[in-house]
Structure 1
Amino acid sequence: MKTAVITGANRGIGLAMAQQLAAKGWDVIGVCRTDSEELEEVAGMVISGIDVTDAEHIEQVKKILGDTKVDLLINNAGLLQDEQLGSIDYDSIRAQFEINTLAPLMVTEALLDNLTSGSKVAHITSRMGSIEDNGSGGRYGYRASKAALNAIGKSLALDLKDQGIAVALLHPGYVQTRMVNFGGHITPDEAAEGLLQRIEELNLENTGGFWHSNGEPLPW
């Protein structure tokens, strides 16, 4: 049985991916701040009370996992906030960098010993992290933090390739989740299905790519 670790797995896209992987026979380990009944129903293990921006919390996850082999790590936890030019809340921007950019790197580095040749790492990013695709401005913290995550993901892909570990940067689409007040175009289930298909197609030949969940390559 293959094992997947998913951060932010208690609701939204993270929960949908957990449910679909479990249905395919995966052992799902959900990492989250707050547990949910839906996650408990499908996860083999839930590690709750975890703030992925806190190094001590991440160390706790590492200790709980021990020498468990992780076939798939999905860094899904994220934060979307808005800032208005002229009255920017820089603490808001810092918070988004902590969870959107630094946390995925911290979690990945902490679990390196659990990843082996053939393992995959998927960072749930956003097309709003694309500089070329930015046609509307605004969202300074979210755009910048996701662009930085893309840069980190690309470096991880290069650094981990010799170990046989592939890395993907995946945009789920505009999804009906709490993050966007449920105003998206597709459901979490639809997004999760596309994301998992992209992960299935991920290999050492296409490692480091930036894709929409529908398979469309996205510009940097």
Structure 2
Amino acid sequence: METVLITGASRGIGLELTNKFLELNYKVIATYRNKPSTELEKLQSNENISLIELEVTDEISINKLKDYLQGIKIDILINNAGIIGPEDQSVEGITRQDWLTTFAINSIAPLMISRAVLNNMESAINPRIITISSQMGAINRDNVGMYAYRSSKVAVNKVMKVLALELKEKSIAVCLIHPGWVKTDMGGENADISATKSASGIVNIAQELTMESSGKFFNWEGNEHVW
């Protein structure tokens, strides 16, 4: 039985990923910020889930996660926790602090969490690190506004590309996934697909990911995305 660690599991895509992996009989370590949602708490009736509080930008919290994970094999890490950033991300309105906060969560935290669990992944047969990104971080797309969010996703794309190269000798596969425009608190009511549909696609990619695909950027349907 494989074990998956999912950050930001209280709601949205993270919660649906937790549900999907439990349905497939994975052991799931689901993290939440401050307090788990009611929906996440209900899943504790399943003996295969463990909940742990994690503030992804806090070093003390990350170290507590490391202590908790001692001796536990992690097969899959899904860096799902993320934010859209401040409401005003125009060139006139974006503030330095709001931009830095968005970067801390979306760009820096995925590497810090990945680093924290590397020792736990070395004993896995097919270890995989998956980071939820966005096509809004694709340089080839011509869009305006949303400076903090777009740039944070560009940054995490490059971070994970570098990590994939560095972990090649350890046979730890790394990839990024655009989850689609999803009907969540972040995506809004007018989005294209449900969190359940997005999560199903992400789980399929996680199950099939090998070293041959390490360093690539996919969409939720498993097709390679342009950078």
Classify the TM-score, shorter chain. over 0.9
Match of 1:178 in 2: 185
Indicate whether 1:126 and 2:134 are aligned.
Answer: yes
SS in 1 for 2:186: helix
SS in 2 for 1:173: coil
CA contact (8 A) 1:122 1:199 kept: yes
- The 1-side partners of 2:62 and 2:120 are apart by 14
CA contact (8 A) 1:177 1:183 kept: no
SS in 1 for 2:222: coil
Aligned partner letter, 1:165: I
TM-score, with length taken from structure 1: 0.95
Q: Any residues of structure 2 matched to 1:1-220 within 5 Å, and which?
A: 1-33=1-33, 34-40=35-41, 41=43, 42=46, 44-48=49-53, 50-81=54-85, 82=87, 83-116=89-122, 117-133=125-141, 135-220=142-227
Which segments of 5 or more consecutive residues in structure 1 lack a partner in the other structure? none
Q: Percent identity?
A: 38
Q: 1:182: how far off?
A: 3.1
Count, aligned residues: 218
- The 2-side partners of 1:201 and 1:26 are apart by 15
- The 2-side partners of 1:87 and 1:18 are apart by 36
- The 1-side partners of 2:190 and 2:96 are apart by 26
TM-score, with length taken from structure 2: 0.92
* Higher mean displacement: 21-30 or 33-42: 33-42
- The 2-side partners of 1:107 and 1:212 are apart by 22
Aligned partner letter, 2:38: E
- The 2-side partners of 1:201 and 1:44 are apart by 22
